[in-house]
Structure 1
Amino acid sequence: EVELSKGKSRELRKQITIYAWDRLLNFLTYRERSIWECKMFLDQLYLDPEISEKLVEKAISNNFVNDERFAELFVESLIAKKKNSTEIKIKLFEKHISGKIINKVLAEKYSAEIEENILTENVIKTLSKYSGFSDKEKIEKCLNYLTRRGFSYYEVKEKINELIMSPL
C-alpha cells in the first residue's frame, strides 16, 4: 500500500474533479439532460458522492442543466413522434422529472387539438397496419394496441367509428 500525503491527496482529488467536470460537460453537449441523468452519469464514474453532488450543483448554477427546460424539449420531441400524454408522462417520470413540472409543461405544450391529431394519426396508422384482417378483427386489434399504448379505450373507439363513417 502507498500512503499519500495530504498535499498529494488534495491534488489528486482536484484532478479527478476536473476530469469528471470535463466528462459531464461532454455528456451535456449531445442533448438536453435531466438532473437525474447527470447524477446517473457521474455515478458511473465511481466518484466520491460529494464530488458528484458539487458537479451537479455547478452545472445547475451555470444553467447547463434545467429539468423544466429538459421537460419542454422532451415533450416537444415526443409530440413530434405522435406520443400520447400518458406515454409522455411515463417517460418523464422515468427521467425523474417532478409531477409539478410534468403537469406544467403538458398544460403548455399538449393541447386538446394536438391530442386529437395524435389520436387520429395513430388510429389511421394502426388501422392500415391491420388492413389484412376483417373489419371486426382490425377494429379489435386497433383498440387493443392503442389502449396498451395509453390511449383511452372510449376515445379510440369513438375515433374509429368516426373514421369508418367518413371516407379516409
Structure 2
Amino acid sequence: MNLQKTYSVDEAQKVLENYCAYQERCHKEVKDKLLQMRMIPEAIDNIIVHLITNNYLNEERFAKAFARGKFKIKKWGKNRIVRELKYRQISKYSIDIALKEIDLEEYHSTLHELTLKRIAQVKESNIYKKKKKVVDYLLYRGWESHLIYEKLNELIK
C-alpha cells in the first residue's frame, strides 16, 4: 500500500517557498517537485505564479547563479553550461544574460590551467594521441573547440 502524504495548496506553497529559498531553482525543478507531490495542474500553475510574484522563483537569477557556479566550481565551458540550461528549459534570453556573468579573462585563464593540468595527467608518448585525449576531456567539459585547439597549439609544440 502506497501511503504518500497529500498536501493542500497552502501546505504545498509553503513547502515550495522553503524549497526555493534554500537555493535557486528553475521552473522545471519546481514543476517536477509539485508533480511529485501529486498536485493537480491548476494548483501547480497557481503555486508557480505565487512563487514568481513573491520573487522565490526567477529564471534569470537561476541562470546567472547556475552559470557562475558551474564555471567557478566545476570549471565547465560555455557549451556545457548552455546545454545544461537548455535541458532545464531556460529561455535563450536568460541563457545569454547568464553567460555574461563569466569574465572573459578568467574564462581563458581557467582554460589555460585546465589544459596544463590535463597535459600533465595524460601519460601518452604519441603526441597526436596525447592531444586527442586532452581535446576529448576539454570538449566533454563544454569548452569551445576553437579555443581548445588554439590553447593546445600554444602549449604543445
Name the TM tier (shorter chain): 0.7 to 0.9
Q: Any conservation in 1 of the 2:75–2:141 contact (CA below 8 Å)?
A: no
Distance 1:31 1:164, change over 3 A: same
1:90 aligns with 2:83: yes
Deviation at 1:134?
1.1
Write the distance in 1 (CA, Å) between the matches of 2:77 and 2:62: 18
Paired amino acid for 2:50? K
Deviations, residues 61-114 of structure 1 (Å, cap 9, x unaligned): 0011100111111111012021111011011111111011111221x2124323
Write the distance in 2 (CA, Å) between the matches of 1:120 and 1:62: 42
1:103 aligns with 2:85: no
Write the distance in 2 (CA, Å) between the matches of 1:79 and 1:158: 20
Deviations, residues 31-51 of structure 1 (Å, cap 9, x unaligned): 111122111110111111111
Write the distance in 2 (CA, Å) between the matches of 1:52 and 1:83: 33
> For 2:139, which of 136, 147, 153 is the aligned residue?
147
Deviation at 1:17?
1.0
1:25 aligns with 2:13: no
Write the distance in 1 (CA, Å) between the matches of 2:134 and 2:75: 16
More helix by share: 1
Larger radius of gyration: 1
Consecutive unaligned residues of structure 2, counting only runs of 5 or more, are 1-5
Q: How many corresponding residue pairs? A: 150
TM-score normalised according to structure 1 size: 0.80
Taking the TM superposition and a 5 Å limit, the aligned residue runs for 1:25-44 are 25-44=17-36
- Runs of 4 or more, structure 1, over 3 Å off, are none
